[in-house]
Amino acid sequence: MKKVLTLLYFFAILLVACTPLNDDSAMDIPEVTVPEDPIPDPQGQPIPVYTAEVTPCEGGFAGEYPCSNYNLVNRINLFNLGTNFANDNWGWTDPESGKEYVLQGLNNGVAFIDISDPAAMRYIGKLPTASEESTWRDIKVHSNHAYVVSEAPDHGLQVFDLTRLRNQTEFQTFSPDAVLNTFSSAHNIAINESTGYAYVIGARVNGAAYYSGGPVFIDINAPAAPQEVGGYGGSSYTHDAHIVTYQGPDPDYQGREILFGSNSDGGENNKVVVLDVTDKSAPRLISETTYGNGGYTHQGWVDPDQRFFYLGDELDEIRYGNNTRTLVFDMSDLDNPVLHYTYDGVTAAIDHNGYVKDDALFISNYTAGFREIDISDITNQNMQEVGFFDTYPENNNASFDGVWNVYPFFNSGIIAISDSDRGLFLVQKSN
């Protein structure tokens, strides 16, 4: 049995227009076709192992999936993950063993999957949601701990010691090592691992926006004892953020902790915000930069040289009919960012999250799957798609089916794709 949850395009636009200030809980609702009755979690049973042989990308397909330069290595569907919806994902590499793990966000919790042998994935266990199910769950990692937020009411910040995944022989339903309840729910979380601070994004307390939905500062230097130490609410709702210890080209901010925020008031007042958050008791706004044809300023990532910021707008494809669009801002002067280049993708699909690794931008592109873009010549305003894997072969329409997130940072080269409709995919370059 399956049920279909449908969000029509005109309704998505209506939600944008009618969403209250600082409330974007409606902005990421996908169209999904989901199993009605997921398999129960196999508590007390031997760890499930999911094996597969590599399906090569040949003639533009890996099995049923359109592709270019990426092979399908393995996958776990939603049914076997004990859920009917997947959202964010992240990764952890055990510093002792070198084993790689996917932390797969689900509407009912976080699944922990050992992919050290990607041809035989081991589903070790699940950390259930702290309260109720939710479409939105976000995970980041610091110092061998996972930090989990959700828009589920009364969820708070879950902390989980990832070393507990070692040496498990039976499937586990885990409990968190700590929960911070200074806020009740949140849309997102970002972490600057070099300073040991987490930034909770889009937080609420008893249904009301906390710090106007701006970043809440959490000290996680004692990983299992997080402490809220401040926040910033002066630039409206922050949907996502990338925080770095700045070593970029602007001499005025060397060594400072800089937050690059993607801000929007329910689809209006779309802008990139740059903050100096070094002093948690006195964060300082550096700049706010707007741009044309904004739909919803969703998420962005700064490159390793900290010069260029790659921004994805989630709803411009629906509002304006353009292809997937990535806006690249030159951050050489943090006080005066400049739009350097606009990259137009090859499909009409909506972009969701994007991450930079070395000279590549990895985009989760909903119905168009995951796309890799070569950014090695961005100084000369040149970006080119060099690979993709499309987990949603039905179409490349501007809808919310398909890939929610992609994690490209494993040293093995395995790319972990989270598809809301179909679960976890592992892919790897074919060359």
> Quick one: pLDDT at residue 431?
80
Tens of pLDDT, residues 151-166: 999 999 999 999 999 9
Instruction: Report the pLDDT averaged over residues 82-98.
Output: 98
Per-residue DSSP letters for 225-273? S-EEEEE--TTS-EEEEEEEE--SS-GGGTT-EEEEEEEEETTEEEEEE
Query: How far is the C-alpha of 270 from the C-alpha of 261, rounded, in Å?
Result: 11
- Model-level pTM? 0.91
Res. 20: pLDDT tops 50: no
Instruction: Report the pLDDT averaged over residues 223-249.
Output: 97
- Domains of the chain, with CATH numbers? 2-40+48-429 (2.130.10.10)
> Quick one: pLDDT at residue 39?
62
> Quick one: pLDDT at residue 362?
98
Res. 26: pLDDT tops 70: no
Res. 15: pLDDT tops 70: no
> Quick one: pLDDT at residue 137?
98
Sheet holding 403-407, edge to edge: 70-76, 423-429, 415-419, 403-407
> Quick one: pLDDT at residue 11?
35
Residue corresponding to tokens 């209506």: 14
Per-residue DSSP letters for 106-159? ETTEEEEEE-SSTTEEEEEEEEE-SSS--S-EEEEEETTEEEEEESSTT--EEE
Contacts of 139 (CB under 8 A, 6+ apart): 88, 89, 90, 103, 105, 110, 146, 147, 148, 189
Residue type, 257: E
> Quick one: pLDDT at residue 271?
98
